Structure 1
Amino acid sequence: MTFTDIGAVPAAWRPGAVRPRGGIVLRPAQLADRPALATIAAAAFAQGVAVLLPPELRARADAARFTCFLAATPGVLLLAEVDGVPVGCALATLPAANDPPARLQGLWVAPGRTGQGIGSALLAAMEETLGRQGVASLRVRVPSGQLRALGLFRRRGYALRTAGLRPEPVLEAMLRHSVLAKPLLAAAVAA
């Protein structure tokens, strides 16, 4: 996994410095966390997006594929824990010089842990982390039919930018997505 310069990460998100929110502890993920996070991501994907996919694509959404995806995608990977047990994660790539928005590549919450504020806490932490690094905006693709995810992003101030077929990075297939975005710098300056 590739992380940004640790000096650029706010002190509250550096390894060993955790910030509890309602019993949820958020921190940057470490290399040793990757297997647990891949399992969570695959289980969340199977419960959410995969049920909308044809069987041949559903079979591809396994922990091994998520392990490769997490290892190959440089950026900021945050972990949520409850009582020391990983319950979710969020992965964002930093903006490229020729393509300014940062992209939320995934936000996954363990099945059985949804509806407890974990996704909201991860998203807020990612926005704060990226905003403090000077990232102007965050963009996310939400697979069509994921009304709960769309609701989360809309409640957090994301606006619809476009919709249509987009490459799904884990399955490496074209799927219908809604693309939403939110400015981050104004929130970081106000904080």
Structure 2
Amino acid sequence: MIIVRLARENEVPALAAIGLDAWEKAVSSVADAQAMRRIAELSFLSFLRSNWFSVSVVETGGSVAGWAAREDKDGTISDLWIEPSMQRNGLGSSLLADLEDRILVGGFEAAVIRTHAQNDKAIGFFRKHGYAISSLSTAYAPKLDRDVESVGMTKMLGKPAVHQDQQWF
């Protein structure tokens, strides 16, 4: 059974490890992930330590398998990470549906996400869920010492699927 819920503070290290594993897989075609691993790990830990209370997690079989966040609490999804060995099992879809509901309940009509332009799996995932590419940009990435293309994807949202008894904190 797939369950989406809010994160717990004691899960921060496990969530950071999931984010790091998924990040490495996603950037391997664009950057030397190994050279950037420690910086990425510290970034995940810092973000999660400060924001764990607003992070959604997805679990299956009693184990956390992924997480997502809206860093600025607006319509922009800043993070969606699924443990690579657990991908393609509906976990990301469940997590995305939860985020979209939260975005709507927060008063925003559209969900937006950015990813690097070579992240074909993420782009395909979001297209499958109704997102369309809405922007293309190139920016210098100092950590990579080169320009990186990224795409913005947007989806106009309908009514939230929130149940009357469901509460978000």
Aligned positions, number:
160
Gaps of 5+ in 2: 164-169
**2:79 pairs with 1:81:** no
Give the whole-Å Cα distance in 2 for the aligned partners of 1:106 and 1:180: 13
Counterparts of 1:1-16 in structure 2 under 5 Å? none
> Which residue of 159, 162, 168 corresponds with 1:187?
159
Which consecutive segments of 4 or more residues in structure 1 shift more than 2 A?
54-65, 69-76, 165-168, 171-175, 186-189
CA distance in 1, matches of 2:116, 2:126: 12
CA distance in 2, matches of 1:30, 1:65: 18
TM-score, scaled relative to structure 2: 0.80
1:163-190 C-alpha deviation (Å, 9 max, x unpaired): 122588xx79863211011122x3339x
CA distance in 1, matches of 2:120, 2:35: 20
* 2:73 aligned to which of 62, 87, 94: 94
- Length-normalised TM-score, structure 1: 0.72
Q: 1:55 to 1:140 in 2, by over 3 A?
A: closer
Q: Structure 1 residues 155, 90: CA separation in 2 closer, same or farther (over 3 Å shift)? A: same
Contact 1:90 1:108 in 2 (8 A): yes
Cα distance in 1, alignment partners of residues 2 and 26 from structure 2: 22
Aligned-pair CA distance for 1:72: 4.4
**Which runs of 5 or more structure 1 residues have no equivalent in the other structure?**
1-22, 96-101
Partner of 1:49: 27
What RMSD in Å do the two structures reach over aligned CA positions? 2.9
